Amino acid sequence: MQGWIYTELTTIMKTDDLILEIQSLPVEERVRVADCILRSLNQTVSEVDQKWANLAARRLQDIQTSAVKPVAGDDVFSEIWRRND
C-alpha cells in the first residue's frame, strides 16, 4: 500500500510546476486557464458576464481565423498619444 501512495504522490503536479506549465502555454490557452479558474471562484454568471464571454469568444475566433489582425496594446496607446499631441 505504501508503494501505491508514493507512486500517486510522485505523479501529482506541484503547484509551482503547474504555474510554470501554464506560463509556458500560448496566450490563448493561458486565457482559457485563467477563465476556468475565475469561473470556479465565482460560480454565478450574470447576463452581462455571458455577453462579455460571447464577445471575447467571437474576438478570439476572429484572431484565430485571421479575420482581424491583432494590434499590440503599446501600439494602440502610442497612436492615441500621437493623435492627441
pLDDT (0 to 100) of residue 59: 93
In a domain, 37, yes or no: no
> Nine-digit cell at 7?
507512486
How many structural domains are present in the chain?
A: 1
82 lies in which domain range? 44-85
Residue 62, H or E segment:
helix 47-64
pLDDT (0 to 100) of residue 75: 93
pLDDT (0 to 100) of residue 8: 57
Please state the pTM of the whole predicted model.
0.41
Evaluate whether 9 touches 2 at the Cβ level (below 8 Å): no
CA distance 48 to 69: 26
pLDDT in tens, 20-51: 999 999 999 999 999 889 888 866 667 888 88
In a domain, 21, yes or no: no
In a domain, 5, yes or no: no
In this prediction, residues 61-82 reach a mean pLDDT of 92
Percentage, residues of the chain above pLDDT 90: 49
